[in-house]
Structure 1
Amino acid sequence: MAHHHHHAHSHSHGHSHQTENISTAFWLNLSFTIIELIGGFFTNSVAILSDALHDLGDSLSLGLAWYFQKKAGKGSDQVYTYGYGRFSLVGALINSIVLIVGSIYMLSEAIPRILNPEASNASGMLLLALLGIAVNGAAVLKLKKGDSLNERAVMLHLMEDVLGWVAVLVGSIIMYFTQWYIIDPILSIGITIYVLYNVYGNLKSVFRVILQGTPEDKNINKLKELLIQLKGVAAIHDLHLWTVDGQNNIMSLHVKLDPAADRIKVKEEIRHEMHHEGIQHVTIELELDDEDCGMKAPC
């Protein structure tokens, strides 16, 4: 490791930290899911069971995120020349599918209970809810420092869990005093809809990366304006911008030069400007005015 330059060192250090964060959250979540499944069964609460299923989804997502985050830390090789960054997206994708399937199942359990509610053990639910808030709260704090799409997705999950448990806590208190057992399936449906809503948002981000959309936080017109103002640049075309994994951004572009332009200086300037804009990898094709760029479309 000592032979690497500083950048590589800090990058891999960041990855091991991410992986460690995710693994801690994974073990917390998995052990809690088991407690929850047993608890939901004994308290006869679909709200707790739907949260258990949601948590099972989280555990799976954390496990996959943990595995793929490790993979994503690998550098480039002959097969994946951009490195393994996109592997973390595969985790997010698999997990989204699991949560969708689980949510459909939970809705099929909860909806009939609205029509004929069953008694739930409110005091048991209350204890589980307090435990749930504590465990998931701890995991959220652990992951709050992360910045990868993967960690963000996982943190969102855990944040939902905390909110889900707050809802169960309130619901169990009301049920304890009023015996309105219909609250339980209503909570279950609420939790499930919330999960599906977040899955939708997450899938949108994942597909944008997979389909090589422009990174969500970048404005391509603004970048073009910046580039065109640089000294020696006559025109810009065939500009592409995409991201490997939601963090590492890549750009390629063709630049027509002014006749008197210093080629090396122009390249340096472009790279410098784009680094400032959060684009790590820039490939530049320089052309003179009378040069044909070799693209089929008009330059």
Structure 2
Amino acid sequence: MAHAHHHHAGGAAAAAEDDPAAAKRRGRRLLIALALNLGIVVAEVVGGAISGSLALLADAAHNLADAGAILVAYIAWRISRRKADPRRTFGYARAETVGAVINLTVLLVIGVFLGYEAVTRLFDPQPIQGEIMLIVGAIAMAEDVAAAWVLRKETGANVRSAFLHMIADALATLGVVLGALAVMIWGVTWVDPAITAAIAVYIFVHAGAEMRGAVAVLMDSAPQGFDYDALRRLLENEDGVAGVHHLHLWRLDEERVALEVHLALDHADLAAATRMKEGLKGRLAERFGVAHATIEVECAAGVDHDGALFARE
């Protein structure tokens, strides 16, 4: 008796990635966002140099890092769409995660530099031209909002994180505008390095949180909050299953969860075991979002496993 072999593809995100039109739109939106970010960087570097505003230069550095992040995201996204081959049998999807680690590492280094410069300027204030700082800050904020608008409809984790970066950048640039107003109205120059320090703190918090998520993927961790116990109960309560061992969960990439498990059966009916496996794969995909499941079955009476293997690992 023949059995259909199904691969569960992980829902809407996977479907969107398989749509050539959606893929083309995603690439185009990333390039538009990249162009807008580079425009922000040029404007803020020129404006910061003329006005003497460290906050503008700090935001320019942040936006340059974000432009690099978008570029790496675009390249990584292109690589991630390559088909699996004999060397990369799971495909290239983790290229996006590797790109994220590169971007976040650079961003954390920039955060350290900005923090140092902010402390230096607090003890050695520099004259600032508030009018130029205000004009350039307003232009940069408009471009940040435009970049966020371009990426707003994307749902993939990689591009979605870029969208959140744009929103955060718009808020940081709003801080620059408020700092310029403070300089113009009250003449307080300490606001500029204070805003720079706030941007540095934001970088540490935001990049640190995203770094933990990226490293978790590279460490083959299960998704945070995954109900391991419920999944194990589902397997143990399946008719004919006498034991569950070698149960491993990990993420193939930011979207797809993979599972590997050995099931010891109390019978030797291969046809029934095959039907059970296919049914389990469907339920695992539907209930737990498992996109790739490898289930090995064996007859419990014919296998001498260490008792510890049947316990929770």
Fold match (TM-score > 0.5): yes
User: Distance in 2 between the 1:178 and 1:295 partners?
Assistant: 75
Match of 2:195 in 1: 187
Give 1:87-236 correspondences, 5 Å limit: 87-236=95-244
Which residue does the alignment assign to 1:279? Answer: 290
Deviation at 1:94, TM superposition (A): 1.1
Contact 1:232/1:260 (CA < 8 Å) preserved in 2? no
Q: 1:235–1:256: 8 Å Cα contact kept in structure 2?
A: yes
Q: Work out whether residues 245 and 309 of structure 2, in 8 Å CA contact, stay in contact via their aligned partners in 1.
A: no
Deviation at 1:216, TM superposition (A): 2.5
Distance (whole Å) between structure 2 residues aligned to residue 66 and residue 134 of structure 1: 23
Relative to the length of structure 2, the TM-score reads 0.87
1:6-64 C-alpha deviation (Å, 9 max, x unpaired): x7875332443332322221111112211111111111101110010001101111111
CA RMSD of aligned residues (A): 2.1
Q: In structure 2, the residue corresponding to 1:251 is in which secondary structure?
A: strand
Q: Counterpart in 2 of 1:4?
A: none
User: Are positions 1:263 and 2:270 aligned together?
Assistant: no
Name structure 1 gaps, 5 residues minimum: 1-6
Amino acid at match of 1:275: A
Which residue does 1:44 correspond to in 2? Answer: 52
Which residue of structure 1 aligns with residue 251 of structure 2?
A: 243
State the TM-score, normalized to the length of structure 1.
0.91
**Higher RCO by CA contacts (8 Å cutoff, separation 6 or greater):** 2
Q: Secondary structure at the match of 2:164?
A: helix
What is the rounded CA distance, in whole Å, between the counterparts of 2:224 and 2:154 in structure 1? 18
Q: Give me the whole-angstrom Cα distance separating, in 2, the residues matched to 1:143 and 1:232.
A: 49
Name the SS of the counterpart of 1:238 in structure 2.
strand
Contact 1:50 1:106 in 2 (8 A): yes
Matched residue SS, 2:224 = coil
Question: 2:43·2:140 contact (CA, 8 Å) conserved in 1?
Answer: no
- Specify the SS of the correspondent of 2:301: coil
Aligned to 1:3: none
Instruction: Assess if the C-alpha contact under 8 Å between 1:149 and 1:245 holds in 2.
Output: no
The answer to whether the aligner puts 1:12 opposite 2:23 as a matched pair is: no
**Distance in structure 2 (CA, Å) of the matches to 1:28 and 1:152:** 17
